[in-house]
Amino acid sequence: MAGMNQHVIVAGGGIGGLACALALARAGVRSVVLEQARAFAEVGAGLQLGPNAVRVLAEWGLMDNLLACAAFPAALRVRDAHDGRQLGQLRLGAMALARHGQHYATLHRADLHSLLLTAVQQRPEVQLRLGARLSRCEEDAASGVRVTLEGGDTLSAGALIGCDGLWSRVRAQMLGEQPVRATGHLAYRGLLRTTDVPPALRGNLVTAWLGPRLHVVHYPVKQGERFNLVAVVHGQLPSTDDPQAWTHAAHATDLRRALGPACEELMSMVNAVPDWTLWPLNDRPALRGPHEQAQGRVALLGDAAHPMRPYFAQGAAMAIEDAWTLGRLAQDPAAGDDWPARLALYAQTRWRRNARVQQLSQRNGVVFHASGLLRWGRNTAMALLGERLLDNTWLYEGPPEPRTSH
Ligand SMILES: Cc1cc2nc3c(=O)[nH]c(=O)nc-3n(C[C@H](O)[C@H](O)[C@H](O)COP(=O)(O)OP(=O)(O)OC[C@H]3O[C@@H](n4cnc5c(N)ncnc54)[C@H](O)[C@@H]3O)c2cc1C
């Protein structure tokens, strides 16, 4: 029984689940990762990783692997989507390193996932089960958590960490079924060879174009060999599409119509994208307190706890920070040696920061897509405050050390 109570079930093998298993393994905790997919596919598009997340990967010894697949942009440049003028700039590159002690990286989601997967596969503490879909979980205060898989298999462990994403089953069991929140925004995503990017936009930059009811972001990935581009516009998916799918048929003509009178330079970039995929953006309201992130032996991590709009580029980073915190607590004798106590401290440490990032992501959507007076105010503030408005020291110096008492 002691052995069983020490090991953990991690539901979901996305970035959050793999990071969680790795952090626990580093603390000497065994885990079984249950992933519903039968195989991991090269899915997704670009991700940005701030110094807060890169710091964790470096601590886990993954910096060389990150250097081998990511790009490290020199600056974030904000431009007006209609007239092309520069609205603001934040130096990244060497400046991020000097200010925040770590790099600012951009990479493909599949590369980050495979980097974590390789690390997890080297750990004897982690067992990975593909094609294993959690359908139910029950807690028994004396013996632990019991998980039932689709098909009827059962497993027991000392704790269950729900890393099963936006449509989390673990969350539904903990907090009741709640529908996801449709944002009314659609993301068109494309990947192109850097040699196909218009020469004026080929620089090592994150460029964000802001316009009324739209924004477009592009940056290099794969060590600068490819560019990732995402264009966010207002709209709905056809009602016949499966909202949980990660790719939908996308028509470049619909996107061009939604972008309206965008400037020539931006359109030259959009026109260079060979294929688009469409991704409806959904989120959930922030958790209302630690009691919603952990209850007894069950806790939520990553998108299962705090799915957010991608406008602060911190979804994957918050999942990695959650995982790091859990690993830290599993290692720390002051955090107690029983799972309910550790998970309560984990939730105490994480929920407020996650909620803040989630709320700022939502606010950025409003500011990015502003028109009229709000647009004028945004542009004026960016011109006056420059880097002070765009930098986020409180965020990039993270993750915060976990609390070790309630
Ligand atoms: C296919 C895919 C593509 C993505 N592409 C991008 C992108 O291009 N850009 C971006 O910014 N973000 C993307 N994201 C989201 C981003 O990866 C997450 O916001 C972030 O990394 C947090 O990860 P997570 O592990 O918490 O959740 P997720 O990445 O959603 O991972 C959840 C995992 O749990 C598995 N799962 C779900 N339910 C069950 C269950 N009942 N039993 C077992 N396993 C289950 C899923 O198959 C998935 O592997 C993508 C996510 C996915 C799943």
Domains detected in the chain: 4-180+284-396 (3.50.50.60)
Question: What pLDDT score does 403 carry?
Answer: 79
pLDDT number for residue 5: 61
- Site to probe by mutation for ligand 1, drawn from 34, 161, 188, 303 as the one with most ligand atoms within 8 Å of Cβ, is 303
Q: How high is the pLDDT of residue 143?
A: 72
- Tell me the per-residue pLDDT of 146-204, one tens digit each, with 9 for 90 and over: 999 999 999 999 999 999 999 999 999 999 999 999 999 999 999 999 999 999 999 99
How many angstroms separate the CA atoms of 89 and 77, rounded? 5
Q: How far is the CA of 99 from the centre of ligand 1 (A)?
A: 31
Ligand 1 atom nearest residue 15's Cα? 25
The answer, yes or no, to whether residue 240 has pLDDT greater than 70, is no
Per the listing, tokens 């709009």 go with 309
Q: What is the pLDDT of residue 334?
A: 84
Determine the atom of ligand 1 nearest the C-alpha atom of 168: 38
Cβ neighbour number for residue 370 with a 10 Å cutoff:
18
Mean pLDDT along residues 125-141? 95
In the predicted model, what is the mean pLDDT of residues 268-283? 94
User: What does the mean pLDDT of the chain come to?
Assistant: 94
Atom of ligand 1 nearest to the CA of 16: 25
Say what the pLDDT of residue 340 is: 94
Q: What is the mean pLDDT of residues 307-333?
A: 96
Ligand 1 interacting residues, C-beta cut-off 6 A: 11-17, 34-37, 43-45, 47, 109, 133-134, 163-166, 169, 246, 302-304, 310, 315-316, 319
Q: What pLDDT, on a 0 to 100 scale, did the predictor assign at position 239? A: 67
Look at residue 204 in the predicted model and tell me its pLDDT: 98
Residue 232 has pLDDT above 80, yes or no: yes
Own/partner pairs, 132-136, CB within 8 angstroms, 24+ separation: 132/34, 132/35, 132/36, 133/34, 133/36, 134/11, 134/34, 134/36, 134/164, 134/169, 134/170, 135/169, 136/169, 136/173
pLDDT in tens, 328-368: 999 988 887 799 999 999 999 999 999 999 999 999 999 99
Predicted confidence band of residue 1 (pLDDT cuts 50, 70, 90): very low
The mean pLDDT value for 391-406 works out to 90
The alpha carbon of 154 is separated from its chain's Cα centroid by a whole number of angstroms, namely 30
The residues carrying an active-site annotation are 219
- Gap from CA of 273 to ligand 1 centroid (Å): 24
Encode pLDDT of 73-125 as tens digits.
999 999 999 999 999 999 999 999 999 999 999 999 999 999 999 999 999 99
Stated pTM of the model: 0.96
Ligand 1 centre distance from Cα of residue 397 (Å)? 25
Residue with token string 């030259």: 268
